[in-house]
Amino acid sequence: MRRLTLLSVTMLAAPLGAVGHAQAEELPPVPIITQVAADAGAGAASGSADPVFAPATREAPPEPPPTREKYPLLPIGGRAAIERGYHIQRALGASGMLIHNVQNMNSSNLAIAIAKGEDPPAGGALLEVPFVTTTQMESHSSNTEFKADVWLFPFLNLFAGVGKVKGHVNVGVDIDLDAFVPFPFCRPAKPCGHTQLPFKADVDNTSFTFGSILGYGSDNWFAALSLAKTISVAKKDRSDMQMTNIAARAGPRFSLGGDTILTPYVGANYFDMDVTVSGLVRSGPLFEDGDGVGLRYKVDLSSRRPWAGIAGANLELSSHWAMQAEYNLGQESNRFVLSLTFRP
């Protein structure tokens, strides 16, 4: 049946003068029949009514539309930076931080209310008196903080954080008892002298931090300048704190394979802490009658030497996770920072 079909197709394709001799002649050569058969099959497959005179043509598949590069909305200008060959961080980030700080302080505006044998009344006036001075002042604080950040531009990062500050402030107070307690308790023949009355102001505050980072770098190095302001508020008006932190960092970048990058760095830090502490402290027996003194106080403290050197390292485990450890060492301060960052 297939042979007949091929023959019929061949006849239709022959010149009219050869039709009368078709039965006595040999079949056309196989290559011609094969070609006609191929054309006929192709025509049938394409739905043509006459596969001989309307052979099918295979159309090339349509070219897919060109794919558009997907660029994130942030940072602004990130597309241009990527097209110039720069690698940029993922725009959004969240960090958990632990900060421990020890710093010597200077005092100012010391105001007190002092009473012999009893506590000064709460809410009474506090006055600056010449016979009471401060001696040792040292702040110990630990801050646990959650921070969110965004790269607004490839070179500018903005961040905000909320945390908890706990610790204490050691303050030493020197009282000239002869100037405070009149005759007959203190007299030239039997002076009372001076007494040291150290006290510790506890810190249990909620902190709010706002800041920015300017950064620039390449595959081999980076440099950054950061500015942050922290306001720490106590539940009671006893230990409000304000901290200003300005730091410059720079260092090399080492690829450890894949997306893992180690970045050691050094720099300098200006960390200025201003603290207002207030409270009540009592002494033991100081006089012949067994009385002591009660001291209600309020004093402003500020960092004695706010400058410190920086040494630290950042480890990018992947494009999503990074760890940082940093130590600040100054003449009268030291500070340790540990953080873990996730970038979705």
Contacts of 6 (CB under 8 A, 6+ apart): 33, 36, 37, 40
The single residue listed with the structure tokens 């704190």 is 241
In this structure, are 152 and 243 located in the same domain? Answer: yes
Distance between CA atoms of 261 and 217, rounded to whole angstroms? Answer: 14
Distances (CA, A) of 70 to 67, 73, 80: 9, 9, 12
Q: Are residues 95 and 154 in the same domain?
A: yes
Stretch 133-158: mean pLDDT, rounded?
91
Separation of alpha carbons 284 and 23, rounded Å = 139
Neighbours of 69 (CB within 10 A): 8
What percent of the chain is predicted at pLDDT more than 90?
A: 36
Q: Rg of the chain over CA atoms, in angstroms?
A: 43
Co-location of 91 and 237 in the same domain: yes
CB 14 within 8 A of CB 29: no
- 14 plus 93 within the same structural domain: no
Supply φ then ψ for residue 28, to 5 degrees: -60, 160
**Residue 55 covered by a domain:** no
330-339 pLDDT, tens digit each = 988 999 999 9
Beta-carbon count within 10 A of 244 CB:
16
Q: Does residue 207 lie in a domain region?
A: yes
Question: Structural domain of residue 260, as residue ranges?
Answer: 78-107+134-287+301-342
* pLDDT for the residue numbered 33: 36
Asked if the structure places residue 241 within a domain, the reply is yes
Q: Name which of 293, 295, 273 is nearest 285 in CA terms.
A: 293
CA distance 289 to 192: 13
Question: Tokens for 3?
Answer: 């042979």
Residue 121 lies inside a defined structural domain of this protein: no
Q: 247 with 146, same domain?
A: yes
Is residue 252 in a domain? yes
Minimum mean pLDDT range among 12-21, 237-246, 312-321: 12-21
Q: Kindly provide the residue ranges of all beta strands, DSSP E only, lying in 189-220, ordered along the sequence.
A: 194-196, 199-217
Q: Give mean pLDDT, residues 120-140.
A: 79
- Whether residues 25 and 162 fall in one domain: no
- For position 227, what pLDDT does the model report? 97
* Whether residue 169 is found in the same domain as residue 26: no
Structural domain total, the chain: 2
